[in-house]
A = this chain, B = another copy of it.
């Protein structure tokens, strides 16, 4: 079992509640901070938001969060007023178990949309999770495992800061991944002391450069939630210490985002898309996202087909008014298109590059300015279609 440096004052549990049909599958997770933690959150931009997202939006940001309870297998989305009451009840059971006001508990869910939560299962399961809370790597792994849906691997990332503080991130996500968050959940815990407004600013920026820069199929979920908790006491970080903390949060978010794209449903390639030479970062992101969401680009890479016209033409409909004569494209190190003119290349070696590497890079360059962006996506495979053709029934 992997071990992680665990931030001080946090305990973790992931249990089998039987929300899911599989008898041995962990599906209910709990993270508790033994002392009040500053907590910031970033959520889905979908107009149709799940009940736990509404709950977290009401309760965050706050200086005194004590825990997060997460269930997997049921999204508690499109469930109306009852769904909101059920999310509140989940928090209430945790609050009673650890002894705190219920407003200090946050909730997240992931799974099928539109089904009522089976509350008797959660009424029984949450107290068991409270009993199993541990300040151990096993606890962390159980949380990481209990929040998965169609993911095949757990996703954990950590950093140790120079002052001795720890940062630990746990995430899930394999589909319904659009670039404005997705059915992805991520929880970052630190024992650093950080002011609440700094925490929110740092998280917003880190999410923009990580979870908002991945796409599986571009479908923005109803449940996306990223929470960042910092439970340190004493003087809050500032100056270089705060900058180091912000960089660590961004690093952990990027590592978790890459892990999601790599583990995407049916994916055989992690595709890194680098766009350079734009007027600003937003323009570069717009082109990168459009290429990342092209089913024709993604199927070509699955087929190890260096069909670069699909990449160039996807850039062309991104809504950025560039001129074709300034566009160049590299596949890995191979220049395929230079300033609007195709470059003869060896199709067999380009195809081999795609066939032999699980992680590949596309680089697009314009000459409009110095704005750039890196974006991650995956290929589109028959397995993705098969998995999603019968997910609920």
Q: Are B316 and A385 in contact (CB under 8 A)?
A: no
Q: Which residues from chain B contact A122 at a C-beta distance below 8 Å?
A: none
Using a CB-CB cutoff of 8 Å, which residues 333-392 of chain A contact chain B?
337, 340-342, 347, 351, 380-382, 384-386, 388-392
A311 CB → nearest B CB, Å: 10
Q: Answer yes or no: A77 CB below 8 A from chain B CBs.
A: yes
One of A123-131, A172-180, A226-234 contacting the partner: A172-180
Q: Is the CB of B342 within 8 A of A305?
A: no
Nearest CB in chain B to that of A392: its residue = B307
Which among B312, B317, B341, B382 is the interface contact of A385 at CB below 8 angstroms? B382
A342 touching B79 by the CB < 8 A rule? yes
The answer to whether A36 has its CB under 8 Å from any CB of chain B is no
CB of A118 within 8 Å of the partner chain:
no
Give residues in A with beta carbon < 8 Å to B.
45-49, 75, 77-80, 112-115, 175-176, 178, 180, 217-222, 293-296, 299-300, 302-310, 312-317, 320-324, 327, 337, 340-342, 347, 351, 380-382, 384-386, 388-393
Q: A312-B78, A337-B114 are in contact. Are A388 and B47 (CB under 8 A)?
A: no
Give the one of A323, A347, A385 with max B CB within 10 A. Answer: A385
Subset of 28 A-B contacts with CB under 8 Å: A45-B317, A48-B315, A48-B316, A48-B327, A75-B309, A78-B313, A78-B340, A79-B342, A80-B342, A113-B312, A113-B313, A114-B308, A176-B310, A217-B295, A217-B296, A219-B294, A219-B296, A221-B313, A295-B388, A299-B388, A300-B388, A300-B391, A303-B388, A304-B393, A305-B391, A305-B392, A307-B393, A382-B382
Q: Please indicate the chain B residues that have their CB under 8 angstroms from the CB of A389 in the complex.
A: 299-300, 302-303, 305
Instruction: Give the contacting residue for A347; candidates B307, B327, B351, B393; CB below 8 A.
Output: B393
* A307-B176 Cα distance, complex, nearest whole Å: 13
Cβ distance A294 to chain B, nearest Cβ, rounded Å: 5
The complex places the Cα of A206 from the Cα of B381 at a distance, in Å, of 36
Determine the chain B residues whose CB is within 8 A of the CB of A217 once the complex forms: 294-296
A176 touches B381 (CB 8 A): no
In the assembled complex, the Cα of A389 lies from the Cα of B313 at a distance in Å of 17
Whether the pair B78, A48 counts as a contact (CB closer than 8 A) is no
B47 contacts A322, CB within 8 Å? yes
